[in-house]
């Protein structure tokens, strides 16, 4: 029988003793265990719920599979999933892949941290410190009986199989003393997505410059010529350099190739290196065959870049966005190589996707002007292609690049992998 955390919602008072016990036992200054509270203001018309959550040491952990450096490992004796701090790059990819918000950035050390199930205590026959610290017995560790009812009702079938059992799910709400419509809460109107770009600018620049480099190579091949060497080498160099600024431990970047078999991020990096080597060799050796190989590798690279994000969001329907690198790459290749019909077709798709996403969300957004700018640039270029008035005007090329760069920014704004905080809040909100 599997063992794991057993949480009784009826017994939890939200005291955070479990979180404190975890930190004291392991000497951490991060909070691997978090107690989520719904209706923290204790409104009388709503019920108060607590949920103590840390790493669930899943049977099929997406964090471990996606880790490019192999820093996340499993002890098959206890089932604990833990981090080898000496292998961690600080890329934070695991924080995207875990829907339970279990992995925390350790900003002082440039790496990440998480619950290790107090693995040393388990091996000695003890229990995790968080369970020992719980004063009400709400959190314990033992043999699991039912791990499906609550987890699968809150999350779609994640196939992660978390080692977690939750009991005492409250279906009833308190007596409504005050009519819901009469209850007034203090609510400050906020713009959605504010601050979501923090720490992501290096990724935005890396993925966009990579798309631009692939576009330059592929469009040159279609025109029957070699790319301008200084331009291409500059774009590739800046692209590779920008990717390092995202890492908490840049000197360990070479470890990103350690998990090519399972990690989309590892595959992205190795395909990027192959693309760079073949593109540079094609120009230096003036070899058409290498240019063809580089162009094909480049298109595969764009798919690999998109797969990094779809892997993190694989619990939803496939994330189809106007700012995806493959779609953006095809658009720029069409424009640079003078394929007007193809450019207008892809541009129309991107405009429709942008408009649909805006109307589906209908939320205030700091980046609303950026969305309009992206659409306006595409419309101007499509009109120019239709009339045929200009022939590769540098101003229009600049507008295209800026417009697609804004589209890439919007992609990161809209990227929203499943997260326990949002899911739990929506779950109880919809049931009450």
37-54 pLDDT, tens per residue?
876 666 655 667 788 889
Q: Is-contact 390 380, C-beta < 8 A?
A: no
Share of the chain above pLDDT 90, in %: 55
Place of tokens 């994330």: 319
What is the predicted pLDDT for the residue at 166? 85
Task: Indicate the average pLDDT of the chain.
Answer: 85
Q: Is-contact 246 91, C-beta < 8 A?
A: yes
Is the pLDDT reported for residue 365 higher than 80?
A: no
Q: How far is CA 335 from the centre of its chain?
A: 30
- Of the candidates 232, 155, 239, 157, the residue with the CA atom closest to the CA atom of residue 205: 239
- What's the pTM? 0.87
What's the DSSP call for residue 227? P
Alpha helix locations (H) across 313-393?
325-336, 340-361, 368-387
Residue 179 vs residue 211, higher pLDDT? 211
Residues 397 and 319: their CA atoms lie apart, in Å, by: 28
Ramachandran quadrant class, 159 (left: phi over 0; alpha: psi -120 to 50; beta: rest): left
For the ranges 48-62, 265-279, 353-367, the one whose mean pLDDT is highest: 265-279
Partners of 167 in beta bridges: 8
pLDDT band per the 50, 70, 90 thresholds, residue 112:
very high
What is the predicted pLDDT for the residue at 193? 54
Residues 396 and 347: their CA atoms lie apart, in Å, by: 15
Strand pairing category for 81-83 and 72-74? antiparallel
Residues 269 and 240: their CA atoms lie apart, in Å, by: 10
Report the SS3 class of residue 107: coil
Residue 266 vs residue 361, higher pLDDT? 266
- Of the candidates 196, 210, 198, the residue with the CA atom closest to the CA atom of residue 405: 210
Residues 11 and 140: their CA atoms lie apart, in Å, by: 11
- Of the candidates 12, 5, 8, 102, the residue with the CA atom closest to the CA atom of residue 48: 12
Residues 339 and 344: their CA atoms lie apart, in Å, by: 9
Least confident window among 79-93, 234-248, 346-360, 396-410: 346-360
Residues 257 and 243: their CA atoms lie apart, in Å, by: 14
What is the predicted pLDDT for the residue at 386? 79
Place of tokens 């592929």: 218
Mean per-residue pLDDT for 10-18?
90
Residues 37 and 343: their CA atoms lie apart, in Å, by: 50
Q: Dihedral sign, CA of 130, 104, 166, 81?
A: negative
Q: What is the phi/psi pair of residue 241, to 5°?
A: -65, -40
Residues 172 and 175: their CA atoms lie apart, in Å, by: 9
What is the predicted pLDDT for the residue at 298? 97
Least confident window among 23-37, 122-136, 199-213, 238-252: 23-37
Is the pLDDT reported for residue 296 higher than 90?
A: yes
For the ranges 134-148, 240-254, 389-403, the one whose mean pLDDT is highest: 240-254
Residues 116 and 100: their CA atoms lie apart, in Å, by: 15
- Of the candidates 166, 52, 150, 145, the residue with the CA atom closest to the CA atom of residue 102: 52
- The number of beta carbons lying within 10 Å of the beta carbon of residue 375 is 20
Can you read off the two tokens belonging to residue 181?
């419509």
Distances from the Cα of 116 to the Cα of 25, 79, 127, 339, angstroms:
11, 10, 12, 55
């Amino acid at each position: 029988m599997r063992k794991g955390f057993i949480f009784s919602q009826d017994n939890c008072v939200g005291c955070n003793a479990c979180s404190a016990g975890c930190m004291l036992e392991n000497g951490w200054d991060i909070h691997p265990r978090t107690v989520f509270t719904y209706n923290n203001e204790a409104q009388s018309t709503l019920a108060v719920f607590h949920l103590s959550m840390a790493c669930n040491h899943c049977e099929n952990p997406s964090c471990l599979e996606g880790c490019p450096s192999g820093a996340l490992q499993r002890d098959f004796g206890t089932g604990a999933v833990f981090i080898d701090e000496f292998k961690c790059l600080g890329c934070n990819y695991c924080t995207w892949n875990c829907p339970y918000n279990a992995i925390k950035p350790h900003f002082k050390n440039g790496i990440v941290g998480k619950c290790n199930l107090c693995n040393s205590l388990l091996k000695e026959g003890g229990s995790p410190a968080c369970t020992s610290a719980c004063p009400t017995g709400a959190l314990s560790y033992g043999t699991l009986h039912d791990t499906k009812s609550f987890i699968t009702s809150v999350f779609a079938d994640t196939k992660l199989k978390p080692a977690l059992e939750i009991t005492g799910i409250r279906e009833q709400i308190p007596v409504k003393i005050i009519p819901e419509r009469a209850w007034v809460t203090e609510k400050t109107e906020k713009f959605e997505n504010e601050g979501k770009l923090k720490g992501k600018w290096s990724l935005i620049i890396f993925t966009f410059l990579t798309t631009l480099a692939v576009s330059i190579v592929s469009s040159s091949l279609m025109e029957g010529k070699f790319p301008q060497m200084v331009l291409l080498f500059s774009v590739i160099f800046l692209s590779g350099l920008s990717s390092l600024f995202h890492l908490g431990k840049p000197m360990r970047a070479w470890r990103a190739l350690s998990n090519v078999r399972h990690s989309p991020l590892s595959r992205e990096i190795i395909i990027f290196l192959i693309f760079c080597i073949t593109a540079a060799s094609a120009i230096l050796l003036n070899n058409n065959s290498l240019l063809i190989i580089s162009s094909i590798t480049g298109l595969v690279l764009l798919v690999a870049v998109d797969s990094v994000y779809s892997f993190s969001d694989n619990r939803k329907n496939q994330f189809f966005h106007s700012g995806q690198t493959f779609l953006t790459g095809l658009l720029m290749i069409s424009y640079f190589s003078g394929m007007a019909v193809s450019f207008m077709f892809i541009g129309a798709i991107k405009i429709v996707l942008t408009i649909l996403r805006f109307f589906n969300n209908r939320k205030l957004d700091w980046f609303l002007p950026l969305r309009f700018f992206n659409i306006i640039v595409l419309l101007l270029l499509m009109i120019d292609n239709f009339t045929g008035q200009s022939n590769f005007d540098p101003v229009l090329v600049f507008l295209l690049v800026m417009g697609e760069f804004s589209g890439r920014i919007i992609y990161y704004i809209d990227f929203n992998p499943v997260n326990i905080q949002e899911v739990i809040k929506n779950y109880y909100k919809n049931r009450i």
